[in-house]
Structure 1
C-alpha cells in the first residue's frame, strides 16, 4: 500500500504542468504582448562567434542575424573560413531554407533549428498568461504551437520552451547592453544539441 501511494505521488508530480513544477505564481496582467528586442534593429548586423554541438558533431564559425523588415529576419551560419553552413529566412508566416550543408540536412534537425531560431528572433508574442517567481515576471506565449515562457527581470533573461508538460529548451541571455544580448546559449534537455553565441561587435 505504501509503495502504491509513493508511486501515485511521483506520477502526479511528473504530470504537473510546467508552472506548477516551477512554482510559478499566477498573476493578472494587462500586458497583451511580450517583446524580445535583441534582434529588432534593421540598421544593425548582429554578428556572433558561434558553436553548435549536435550529438558528436561540432560546428564553429560566425552566425549573422539581420532584420530585413518587420517580422522578417535572415539567419546565416558560416565556418571561420567563410563556407556557408546554413542560411534561413524567417518571417511571421514562413521559414525558408535557402541553403543547408548536406551533413546538417536532416528533416528532424531542420525542424528543431526552425523552432529555435524562430523563437530567438521573434520580436513580439501574444501573452496568454502571466506569473511571478522571485525577481522575475514570467509570460506564457505560444510560438509555432509550442508554449514558451519569457522570464523578465528588468530585461529578458531567459526563454523556456515546453512540450508534454516538460522543459525542452532553454534560451539564456546575458551580458546585455543597448538591446543586445552579447552571450546567448540555447540548451536542449531532450537531445544532445547546444548552441552558444558570443557577440563580436
Structure 2
C-alpha cells in the first residue's frame, strides 16, 4: 500500500518511499492522530493550531512524511535533515512531486551535529531510529545551533518500551502499537 498524505491541500497524494523499508516513515494512521492532536490540543500560538504557519524542522526526515504532512496542513516552511543520501533522494523527489521545493528545504545534515541555524523552528519532529537514545542529544544540539525558537513544540517518536524522552517537558504522550509519541516543550 503506498504512503499517502492524510489531509490538507495535498490530501491523498502519494509519497515516494523505499520499498525495502530501510527508512521507517510514520504511518498514515499515526500521522493522522498526531496532526489531529496538533490541531486541537491548544499547543499553538494563543492556544490554537500548532501547525498553521509553523516553521517546521523534521530532524530525522527520511522520506519527509511528517514535514510534507505539515506543509499540506498549512505550515509556512519546513526544513528536512537526514544523513542518508537515499532517504534525502526520496525527500527531494517528494518535494518536487508536491510542488513544495520553495517551502521544503532538504539538507544533508546530522541532527546531532547540525549546521548553524538558517531558521528557528516552532515545531520540531524527531523520529530517529528506535532504541539509540538520540532524542535528548538531538534536542540539545539543535538548540545549541540556534534551530529551536523559544517555546518550540517537540513531537518525538520512540519505541513504546523506551524510557521517557530526556530534555523535554512532556505535555502529552500516546502509544500507537510499537510506537510512543511524546508532545512537549524543550525543558529549561
Give the alignment's TM-score, normalised by structure 1. 0.30
Which structure has the highest strand share of the two? 1
Indicate the structure with greater helix content. Answer: 2
* Structure with greater contact order relative to length (CA < 8 Å, sep ≥ 6): 1
Q: Which has the larger radius of gyration?
A: 1
